[in-house]
Structure 1
């Protein structure tokens, strides 16, 4: 059976997600001024700049890279707004940033440098798709989940060299997307476990 969300619930659901989107729409361009201090650089992390494991997610290669990720944030607002509080959504972003940073560090040792919000963004889309599965909104959940998985597979087949890579002046690091998506799967499993424990 196909379930769809009531359109009347969208304004209320959008409030917190819109707030988060506005915060990052302002924050990410400002953080570009600190690009050199924040980008993920393996050798500098080894030398003690541990914060780069997280902050590399919040700076970008160029204007187009930043613009694409901001567009993705706002697309997320309109197609799968979250009912979670602002604090919970910020904690989810922090968790996904951790998954991406540590994933690259431990699982992709050949990656010397990395920047971009897309690993977190793919994780947020995955989280939204999982949330829609719980709500039995099969159509939109399938659209989101198949879309991000298909895009990740396509980037993998292209070896990270796609039209997007030319625009952002860097290879697309699809591994970062996988780490963000994996972090969302863990959150989804935790959420499912908590639901089953409820009386």
Structure 2
């Protein structure tokens, strides 16, 4: 749990995270109507449709895939709302989408197609976990960091054929999760540096 002092300090800013979640809760289902024009498709990106590097993050294989990702986003809202302003949170999401899309393009050349918000979501969980760790909220930070890291290792060990693959009707592209996590770590570097300088 957040410390009481931190909770009071964040109380007025929690609505920022809620607003972001509401926007994506409305936006993501609507974008499903443009699924074919937005999914990450390597051959089409190579042919010049570069927007798919980013938009592949906002379409999903089916409604279960979408619901799982939205549930994860709302979990963050209730457990670890970001203290950042809305435009900063949107920039963070844009950065994580860039990490996922370009990571798949340059480092996972065998991935032909990808869709889903989970790469971004894993980055947000890492970002939140590190923030909570620096605030001294060890329990939730450990759950976030170990849980997300452990899930990624499990997906890797199973070759993407994790139990959630049955729900989303597609293999889990764990590389996208890894790139999102790396993006979250990079976003955390200034806070980590400031913390180390204070201690």
Common topology (TM > 0.5): yes
Structure 2 match to 1:128 = 128
Aligned to 1:108: 108
Distance 2:177 2:125 in 1: 11
- Report the count of equivalent residues: 196
Hey, what's the Cα distance between the residues in 2 that align with 1:75 and 1:125? 10
Counterpart of 2:153? 153
Residue 193 of structure 1, CA deviation: 3.2
Contact 2:155–2:174 (Cα < 8 Å) also in 1: yes
Q: 1:196 and 1:9 mapped to 2: Cα distance?
A: 22
The Cα shift of 1:197 comes to 7.2
- Report deviation, 1:31: 0.4
SS at match of 1:82: coil
CA RMSD in angstroms comes to 1.6
Question: For 2:49 and 2:190, how far apart are their aligned partners in 1?
Answer: 31
TM-score (normalised: structure 2): 0.93
For residues 24 and 2 of structure 2, the distance between their equivalents in structure 1, rounded to whole angstroms, comes to: 29
Structure 1 residue 196: Cα displacement: 6.2
The corresponding residue for 1:179 is 179
Q: How much has 1:194 moved relative to structure 2?
A: 5.1
Is the CA contact (8 Å cut-off) linking 2:10 and 2:83 kept in structure 1? no
Whole-Å Cα distance in 1 between the matches of residues 10 and 67 of structure 2?
A: 25
Decide which of 2, 5, 12 is 2:3's aligned counterpart: 5
Using the TM superposition, give the Cα deviation of residue 21 of structure 1 relative to its aligned residue in structure 2, in angstroms: 0.3
Q: After the TM superposition, which parts of structure 1 deviate over 6 Å for at least 4 consecutive aligned residues?
A: none
Residue 157 of structure 1: how far off its partner (Å): 1.1
Secondary structure at the counterpart of residue 159 of structure 1: coil
The whole-number CA distance in structure 2 between the counterparts of 1:111 and 1:24 is: 25
121-130 or 153-162, which moves further after superposition?
A: 153-162
Q: Structure 1 unaligned segments of length 5 or more: list them.
A: none
Q: What is aligned with 1:48?
A: 48
1:95 is aligned to 2:95:
yes
In 2, Cα distance between equivalents of 1:197 and 1:37: 47
Aligned pair 1:139/2:167, yes or no?
Answer: no
Distance 2:152 2:195 in 1: 29
- What SS does structure 1 have at the residue aligned with 2:109? coil
Give the unaligned 5+ runs of structure 2: none
Structure 1 residue 103, shift from structure 2 partner = 0.3
The match for 1:25 is: 25
* 1:188 maps to 2:193: no
